[in-house]
């Protein structure tokens, strides 16, 4: 199976409605992945760092922009008119259906730029457009760009909603699903970074769940188990642990040679 096919299949897991599937997915990937292969020079990802994401506008094809503006009969439509957002979004969706993801990505990026200009840098109106933009970038397998957009999505949700708001959980589910799936199929060779992010997000989701759910909600157990799995794998993947294991292995080898002598 192609790497991208495995990723797309994993990404379709609906964590909001089936906690067990995500838990088993994370359990499977962490128990089968060899984190000891990570280079000792790999730097730890800062918990609160935000990868830069370019949200500057990409010029829309002139024919597309003109056709959209032509739909507003008799009305003057400026370059940053918010009325352009919906037709840009709809046109991008049609392009996605035709697998024209590069064209769709350009239109969606323009729509996102217009939303930020008209509604402010952090507004919930960006979410649907951001979701669609990520969809096209995944189809194009632009993994670094996808990672940047999910980083921005996390930042956006955390600016919009507090830890006592279940809407924050909805956004965090999407972001942690990306890190889990990227780790599962090793999309970009950054397993440890994705594991660190997943661990951080599961802990944040637990905070939200403790404030918004009843004490017997099964999601709490799901989150506790995945946090424990992440912490275990982070420990096993740390440089200090790998060094200790290497020393123990060498000591066993020396003892075996001594016995043979």
What does the domain layout of the chain look like in residue ranges? 1-32+179-261, 50-160
Predicted pLDDT at 245: 60
Q: Are 122 and 145 in contact (CB under 8 A)?
A: no
Predicted pLDDT at 127: 98
The model carries a pTM of 0.72
Q: Are 107 and 92 in contact (CB under 8 A)?
A: yes
Predicted pLDDT at 196: 93
Distance CA 113, CA 121 (A): 9
**CB proximity list for 232: less than 8 A, separation 6 or greater:** 30
Quote the mean pLDDT of the chain. Answer: 78
* φ/ψ of residue 129, rounded to 5: -65, -40
Predicted pLDDT at 238: 75
Q: Which residue has the tokens 């046109």?
A: 91
Distance CA 240, CA 245 (A): 9
Distance CA 175, CA 154 (A): 7
Q: Are 111 and 89 in contact (CB under 8 A)?
A: yes
Predicted pLDDT at 236: 84
Q: Roughly how many angstroms between the first and final C-alpha of the chain, as a whole number?
A: 49
Given a cut of 70, the residues of the chain with pLDDT beneath it are 1-63, 65-66, 69, 73-76, 239-247, 254-255, 257-261
Provide the CB-side half-sphere exposure for 127 (13 A, CA): 18
Predicted pLDDT at 19: 43
């Amino acid at each position: 199976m192609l790497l991208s096919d495995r990723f797309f299949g994993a990404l379709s897991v609906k964590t909001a409605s089936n906690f067990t599937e995500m838990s088993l997915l994370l359990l499977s990937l962490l128990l089968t992945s060899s984190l000891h292969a990570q280079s000792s020079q790999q730097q730890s990802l800062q918990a609160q760092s935000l990868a830069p994401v370019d949200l500057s506008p990409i010029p829309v094809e002139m024919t597309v922009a003109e056709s959209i503006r032509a739909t507003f009969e008799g009305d003057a439509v400026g370059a940053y008119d918010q009325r352009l957002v919906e037709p840009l979004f709809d046109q991008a969706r049609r392009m996605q259906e035709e697998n024209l993801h590069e064209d769709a990505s350009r239109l969606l990026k323009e729509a996102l730029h217009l939303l930020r200009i008209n509604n402010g840098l952090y507004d919930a109106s960006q979410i649907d457009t951001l979701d669609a933009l990520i969809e096209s970038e995944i189809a194009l397998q632009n993994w670094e760009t996808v990672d940047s957009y999910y980083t921005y999505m996390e930042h956006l949700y955390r600016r919009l909603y507090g830890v006592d708001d279940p809407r924050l959980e909805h956004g965090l589910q999407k972001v942690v699903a990306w890190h889990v799936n990227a780790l599962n199929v090793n999309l970009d060779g950054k397993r440890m970074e994705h594991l660190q992010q997943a661990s951080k997000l599961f802990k944040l989701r637990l905070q939200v769940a403790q404030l918004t759910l009843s004490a017997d909600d099964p999601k709490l157990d799901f989150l506790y188990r995945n946090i424990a799995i992440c912490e275990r794998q982070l420990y096993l993947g740390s440089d200090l642990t790998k060094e200790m294991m290497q020393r123990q292995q060498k000591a066993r080898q020396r003892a075996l040679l001594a016995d043979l002598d």
